[in-house]
Amino acid sequence: MTPPDLINVLTSVLTQASQVLHTPHGFVALVTPDREAVAFEMGTGDLDFLGHEGLGPCADVTEQVWRSGRPVVMDTDGPPEEASALAGARLRAVAVVPLRAGGRTAGVLGMAYDADADRTFGTAELEQLCGLCHLAAIALESARLYAQEKRSVALAERLQASAQAINQSLDLDVVLPAILDQLREVIDYDSSTIQLVDGPRMRVIAARGFAPDEIGRVRLLAEYPYNELLATCSEPIIEGPVPSTHLWRMEPHLSASRSNLGVPLVVRDRIIGALTVDSHKPNRYGADDARTAMAFGRHAAAAIEHARLLASERAARHHAERLRAATQALSSTIDLQEVFALILSELRKVVPYDSASVQQLTGQRLELIGGHGFRNLPNLIGLSFDVLAEDNPNREVVRTRAPVILTDAPASYPNFGTDPHREADIHSWLGVPLLFGDRLIGMLSVDSKQPGFYTAEHAGMALSFAAQAAIAIENARLFAAAQRELAERKEAQQRLNYLANFDPVTGLANRTLLGDRLGQALATARRENKLVGILFLDLDRFKMINDTLGHAAGDQLLKAVGQRLKHTVREGDTVARMGGDEFTLVLPQLDTVEDSERVAEKVSDAFARPFVIDGREVFVSTSIGVSLFPSDGADLEVLLSNADAAMYWAKGQGGNMHRFFTTDIVRAVERLDIESDMRHALDRSELLLHYQPLVNLCTGRVVGVESLMRWRHPRRGLVLPDDFVPLAEETGLIVPFGAWALGEACRQGMAWQLAGFAPLRVSVNVSARQLSANLVKTVKSALTDSGLKPSCLLLEITESILVQNPEAAISTLRELNALGVALAIDDFGVGYSSLSQLKRFPFDMLKIDQSFVRDIPDDSNDAAIVTAIIAMAHALGVSVVAEGVETTAQRALLKERGCDAIQGRLVCPPLTAAELAAAFFDHGPQ
Ligand code: C2E
Ligand code: CA
Ligand code: CA
């Protein structure tokens, strides 16, 4: 729209010109904004061409004036064409004068006289007209400048409003029409559009000046090559007048369009679309309008880009949210199968599909481990195929480790279409790798029935999802592996526990577990005042069975015995194997001793039936020892060892019986132990002799030495005769022991002589059993072997021997006496021998028993007895030795009563041969 000020100027110029020239006919034409033409602006009288096409008869002359810048007058008297054109318009003459200001022609002013006026334009009229035009041009120029200024203010205001619209809303449907509305305020248009490049076409996204039902049809604009031009050229395009026969005559409303202005929408040097305006008037748009449109175009482009960024950010956020939800779901389980199921269900929320699969890669093979929407899925699960061998899209995924999209899978892979497991109408396919770090562990694939369904965006989403899925799978695998390892370790631990507590042959409790159970049983019994019974079993003659039937049969028997024992006793009782053929039963919570007796009998009875080993009946009996808490011991070790001792006792008595523990058994058992050890004492050289000197009471000189036997026991240490000689006598071992002592004493006596000491008589104690076991022969060989003279040997025989079997003793003693060996009566005074008996034996010496010496001189009775014995011995012509002399008082009394010699700790305790020589023979050989 022309600014109103300009209209005023032109109107006033026309009015003045009419008054000055006395004619009502005048017009003004102005150069169009595009400067391509001069267009009618306003007119009066017959020169008002409004509603006409162009300037009628004035067109040519106007063009001429505009181009030349000089006034032109037309007259009916002029050239014939001129005359006929003027005559046709009923005009007599026309004068057209340029409107010139600032050195350029802005338009023309034309005036005319009609035919009735009968006058023409002379020099005077022309001059007047030119003067008016000059003033008009100046006014016109200032109006134009003013308008321009106004327009740039308006433009600034509109641009600001448009920017505000962008700021106020991010919705393109609101912002873009608002921009077009603001544009209308500064650029005159009949319709306008904002269009986006959409592939090879343009898509209208906002429009003004179209009826609502026309908006859809605006798309046809895209057919117009002008848009393609815009899409490739960043310069504004101004067109007009547009011929009405052009392509868009298809659009009735556009057929009126005469001017067209389009500017590109540019974002970061890229044309994303166009802003266009149309006018029904021709030549409406010029460079100024283009600049203005460009400014609004920039706004539109910014708004579009802003919205796009926002949308993509929203989409990204939306995707991120879906991914996060999926990740969360995937991390809700560590069960591998559940993870696979979740992968398929969660994948659907991220990437839509009709069917989908999870496949795991092992070496070069892909295995289907989960699927959705496949036919006959159970048969498919676990199916694996060689990735390299098969021609399918999976191979591409494995090879490239990147997403693969097929818009029409059956077309790309013929096998795909014939796969009987897939629905027949599957078209789109998307496969993504399952990458854990840089390790390919499998792949995911989705199918859609819609051709070309999957986009790069789907691929991106699926890939992000697959990364999460891979983590979930690996986590579940690691967890499963850890579980397995834990289970294995537990099993190993259980195995160890079992071995630690159970006997592998019989499956019964072993010694360790028995200890535990017994400990518990004792604690409970103590609390509840009960008895605990311990049965210690040892199979009789098991060794024989083992040796004849073999070890395997032996093990079978042990197992069978264990089973039978278990069935014989109660549930709460413990049956344990202690090793070898020994078993132990713990009977907790017994009330009476009889209870344990009953169980022992029951167990004995259980062995009455044979055991079947290798199809052969085997009879085996057992010896059982029983100990009871608290009577036979307070703790585990004592109770077990007492039960063991009782068993040992039962076995010693022939086996196949049970025995309760008693204190007698301890002693008996100890004796049995000693006896068995004693049998080896000789061959293990555990026997030795100590020597104690006999000293003459008058001279104080050593008159002999008594040999006293000792046993160096490996565990008990040095054992004295009282602790083993009686047993040796009982068992008859005293015979070989005594023979050894004889030989050893003679050897030592001879050794001392050979060492240069004065000959000493060596005493050897002799037991009753030795007397009847060819003592003479033994003595002879001892003397012969050592080379000792018989007079240097003295045999000590207890008084009791003479009482028990005097006849046998007398003959032997006489024989010995005949050999020249000296004899002594030992322990005299306790054996009740009579003097008449004594007289029949050939004695050299009498030894008063220690019991009489011990209490002298205080005990007057003993002193009297000792005095009597000495007198009697001297009467028989036998020397007297007192034993066990420990005090000087004892010695004094003995000396006073005429005792010949003494023996005892007062003089010297029994010593080793070496010690004795050192103590008594140190003054050298005599
Ligand atoms: P015995 O023949 O009467 O031997 C004397 C015992 O008195 C020895 O005991 C000796 O160590 C101990 N004795 C020495 N000085 C004193 C003392 O001052 N006071 C007391 N109270 N005792 C003293 P030992 O060596 O324990 O021998 C015990 C018995 O064993 C011997 O009594 C003897 O009957 C027998 N015996 C020792 N050696 C043999 C042997 O080689 N063969 C046989 N058959 N019996 C032996
Ligand atoms: Ca003796
Ligand atoms: Ca004695």
Give me the mean pLDDT over the 77-97 stretch: 86
Q: How confident is the model at residue 199 (pLDDT cuts 50, 70, 90)?
A: low
Q: How confident is the model at residue 246 (pLDDT cuts 50, 70, 90)?
A: very low
Distance 853 CA to ligand 1 centre (A): 14
| pLDDT value for 906 | 93
| pLDDT value for 674 | 82
CA angle 555, 561, 562 (to 5 degrees): 90
| pLDDT value for 201 | 66
Pocket test for ligand 1, best of 682, 722, 765 (most atoms within 8 A of CB): 765
Q: How confident is the model at residue 231 (pLDDT cuts 50, 70, 90)?
A: low
- Ligand 1 and 799: CB distance under 6 A: no
Distance 881 CA to ligand 1 centre (A): 14
Q: How confident is the model at residue 304 (pLDDT cuts 50, 70, 90)?
A: confident
Nearest C-alpha to atom 15 of ligand 1 is from which residue? 904
Q: Which atom of ligand 1 is nearest to the CA of 741?
A: 41
Q: How confident is the model at residue 2 (pLDDT cuts 50, 70, 90)?
A: very low
Q: Which residues contact 486 (CB under 8 A, 6 or more apart)?
A: none
User: What DSSP string runs through 187-221?
Assistant: S--SEEEEEEEETTEEEEEEEESS-GGGTGGGGGG
pLDDT one-digit tens code per residue, 52-77: 778 888 888 898 998 888 889 988 88
Task: With beta carbons less than 8 A apart as the criterion, state whether 794 and 757 touch.
Answer: no
Distance 899 CA to ligand 1 centre (A): 20
Pick from 191, 224, 222, 220: nearest CA to 207: 191
Q: What is the mean pLDDT of the chain?
A: 85
CA distances from 29 to 130, 380, 589, 769 (A): 15, 87, 135, 175
pLDDT one-digit tens code per residue, 314-339: 877 888 888 888 888 888 888 888 88
CA distances from 845 to 238, 330, 424, 682, 872 (A): 166, 111, 132, 31, 12
- Ligand 1 and 890: CB distance under 6 A: no
Q: Which ligand is nearest to the CA of 775?
A: 1
Q: How far apart are CA 619 and CA 545, in angstroms?
A: 10
Q: How far apart are CA 430 and CA 448, in angstroms?
A: 9
Q: Which atom of ligand 1 is nearest to the CA of 903?
A: 15
Q: Which residues contact 312 (CB under 8 A, 6 or more apart)?
A: none
- Ligand 1 and 720: CB distance under 6 A: yes
Determine how β-strand 822-828 pairs with β-strand 793-798. Answer: parallel
Q: Which atom of ligand 1 is nearest to the CA of 906?
A: 18
Q: How confident is the model at residue 25 (pLDDT cuts 50, 70, 90)?
A: very high
Q: How confident is the model at residue 822 (pLDDT cuts 50, 70, 90)?
A: very high
Give me the mean pLDDT over the 879-885 stretch: 95
Q: What share of the chain in percent tops pLDDT 90?
A: 33
| pLDDT value for 243 | 45
pLDDT one-digit tens code per residue, 394-447: 889 999 999 999 988 888 888 776 777 777 788 899 999 999 888 999 999 999
Distance 151 CA to ligand 3 centre (A): 157
Q: When comparing pLDDT for 666 and 275, which is higher?
A: 275
Nearest C-alpha to atom 43 of ligand 1 is from which residue? 765
Give me the mean pLDDT over the 520-534 stretch: 92
Pocket test for ligand 1, best of 720, 735, 796, 883 (most atoms within 8 A of CB): 883
Q: When comparing pLDDT for 157 and 229, which is higher?
A: 157
| pLDDT value for 230 | 62
Which residues on neighbouring strands pair with residue 91, listed in sequence order? 114
Q: Which atom of ligand 1 is nearest to the CA of 854?
A: 21
Range with lowest mean pLDDT among 119-128, 260-269, 454-463, 817-826: 260-269
Distance 636 CA to ligand 3 centre (A): 44
Q: Which ligand is nearest to the CA of 740?
A: 1
At residue 505, does pLDDT exceed 80?
Answer: yes
At residue 252, does pLDDT exceed 50?
Answer: no
Which H or E run contains 902? strand 901-902
Give me the mean pLDDT over the 641-652 stretch: 90
Distance 800 CA to ligand 3 centre (A): 12
Q: Which ligand is nearest to the CA of 721?
A: 1
SS3 for 38?
strand
- Ligand 1 and 766: CB distance under 6 A: yes
Nearest C-alpha to atom 10 of ligand 1 is from which residue? 910
- Ligand 1 and 196: CB distance under 6 A: no
- Ligand 1 and 410: CB distance under 6 A: no
Give me the mean pLDDT over the 211-221 stretch: 54
SS3 for 22?
coil
Q: How far apart are CA 57 and CA 311, in angstroms?
A: 60
Give me the mean pLDDT over the 801-830 stretch: 86
Pocket test for ligand 1, best of 678, 705, 708, 722 (most atoms within 8 A of CB): 708
Distance 512 CA to ligand 1 centre (A): 47
Angle of helix 888-896 relative to helix 860-876, nearest 10 degrees, comes to 50
At residue 227, does pLDDT exceed 80?
Answer: no
Q: For residue 693, say if its preceding peptide bond is cis, omega within 30 degrees of 0.
A: no
Q: Which ligand is nearest to the CA of 773?
A: 1
- Ligand 1 and 744: CB distance under 6 A: no
Nearest C-alpha to atom 25 of ligand 1 is from which residue? 708
Distance 691 CA to ligand 3 centre (A): 14
Distance 839 CA to ligand 3 centre (A): 20
Q: Which atom of ligand 1 is nearest to the CA of 690?
A: 25
| pLDDT value for 80 | 85
Q: How confident is the model at residue 249 (pLDDT cuts 50, 70, 90)?
A: very low
Q: Which residues contact 590 (CB under 8 A, 6 or more apart)?
A: 530, 531, 532, 533, 596, 628
- Ligand 1 and 110: CB distance under 6 A: no
Distance 56 CA to ligand 1 centre (A): 176
- Ligand 1 and 759: CB distance under 6 A: no
Start-end of H helices in 113-202: 123-168, 172-186
Which H or E run contains 677? helix 663-678
Q: How far apart are CA 890 and CA 15, in angstroms?
A: 186
pLDDT one-digit tens code per residue, 568-618: 999 889 999 988 899 999 999 889 989 999 999 999 999 999 999 888 888
| pLDDT value for 833 | 66
- Ligand 1 and 82: CB distance under 6 A: no
Most confident of 5-19, 79-93, 761-775: 761-775
Give me the mean pLDDT over the 368-385 stretch: 84
- Ligand 1 and 765: CB distance under 6 A: yes
- Ligand 1 and 257: CB distance under 6 A: no
Distance 52 CA to ligand 2 centre (A): 176
Chain-centroid distance of CA 75 in Å reads 112
CA distances from 855 to 252, 392, 410, 851, 891 (A): 162, 120, 128, 8, 12
